[in-house]
Structure 1
Amino acid sequence: MSATIVAHSSSWSRALVAISPYTFSAIGIAVSIGVSVLGAAWGIYITGSSLIGAAIKAPRITSKNLISVIFCEAVAIYGVIVAIILQTKLESVPTANIYQPESLRAGYAIFASGLIVGFANLVCGLCVGIIGSSCALSDAQNSSLFVKILVIEIFGSALGLFGVIVGIIMSAQATWPTKV
């Protein structure tokens, strides 16, 4: 029955079913960690450059505004944590069962989870970096604004946690066929 369905489907669906679910899993894990680190690096770049520039006018802001850099770094840690969780979801499946629907679903679930976490953390890193930049610049002008903008930065950082939660929920679908 499934051979009939595959024979009549498009070339894209045949290609996706022919790729090993382990390949999709590996790509998902790599995207989770790689894109999260990219988001953290981008946020640190944005925050750091503004922090250095604003510190010329007000050197007092340097140490307390490093918290913005730490928030950006947390985004990379989120990606590492999820990559470790996704790695633990991988199980060995006999070659005869590798292309069963359950195996394909597990591979796609890990892939989708890694994609969601990676791109959520990319956006989170940018968000935290831009807010951290604003925090440094405004703190250099008026030190009473630091705590107010830091609260906004904490809300921006929560976006990465939402991605982690959604990724963990999605990875719960990764159940491989039992060994026979």
Structure 2
Amino acid sequence: MGLAFGLSLSVIGAAWGIFLTGSSLVGAAVKSPRIRSKNLISVIFCEATAIYGVIMAIVLNGLMKKPEGGIENGSFTDEWNWSSFYFAGYGVFSSGLSVGLTNVASGVAVGIAGSSCALADAQDSSLFVKILIVEIFASALGIFGIIVGIIQSNSCQFPYDVAN
């Protein structure tokens, strides 16, 4: 579930940001067609949040393997350390959820900043770089989220055999 939440919420955040940026970009390009190509960077920043979710999904998927040993008649024996399974499972869930929620916030923030960047650039081209800096700071939220998710997932050790 953590892997699914991390990936799906990251894609939702990216889509929401692209919607916000793209709609303003298309509307502002009617007045000033010169902004179309250089404001596409705002869409790229939104898409980065989806990529962060994919990276975290790959990291979390690498943690999970099929357990070996200690299985009798298709079910686990009592020799397993169930508290390690619970700890690792909740760790994967919380890291995926934190990355997903952070990327929703990052996608919306980048979308709003990208929308403002397109509208301001249509009015005055000297404002593009100034507002792009704000958009970069909004994109950093997604980077912080994936760093926190990786730190959380580092403590998730699933036992693979009865000895663990």
**TM-score under structure 1 length normalisation:** 0.83
- Aligned mates of 2:104, 2:39 — CA distance in 1: 21
- Aligned mates of 1:178, 1:45 — CA distance in 2: 44
Aligned twin of 2:132? 150
- Alignment gaps of 5+ in structure 2: 71-75
Aligned twin of 1:15? none
Aligned twin of 1:108? 90
Residue 99 of structure 1: how far off its partner (Å): 6.5
Moved over 4 A (4+): none
The total of aligned residue pairs comes to 154
In the superposition, relative to structure 1, how do residues 104 and 98 fare at CA in structure 2: closer, same or farther (>3 Å)? farther
1:34-113 alignment runs, 5 A limit:
34-93=8-67, 94=70, 95-96=76-77, 100-113=82-95
In the superposition, relative to structure 1, how do residues 98 and 77 fare at CA in structure 2: closer, same or farther (>3 Å)? farther
Residue 173 of structure 1: how far off its partner (Å): 1.3
The alignment-based identity, stated in percent, is: 59
Residue 118 of structure 1: how far off its partner (Å): 0.2
In angstroms, what is the RMSD of aligned CA positions?
1.2
Aligned twin of 1:21? none
- Aligned mates of 2:114, 2:81 — CA distance in 1: 47
- Aligned mates of 2:81, 2:119 — CA distance in 1: 55
- Alignment gaps of 5+ in structure 1: 1-26
Aligned twin of 1:22? none
- The one-letter amino acid of 2:159's match is P
- The equivalent position to 2:107 in structure 1, one of 121, 125, 147, is 125
- Aligned mates of 1:80, 1:99 — CA distance in 2: 30
- Aligned mates of 2:107, 2:80 — CA distance in 1: 36
- The equivalent position to 2:5 in structure 1, one of 28, 31, 40, is 31
8 Å contact from structure 2 (residues 65, 160) kept in 1: no
- The one-letter amino acid of 2:129's match is V
8 Å contact from structure 2 (residues 66, 160) kept in 1: no
- Aligned mates of 1:154, 1:114 — CA distance in 2: 23
Residue 92 of structure 1: how far off its partner (Å): 2.2
Aligned twin of 2:73? none
In the superposition, relative to structure 1, how do residues 98 and 49 fare at CA in structure 2: closer, same or farther (>3 Å)? farther
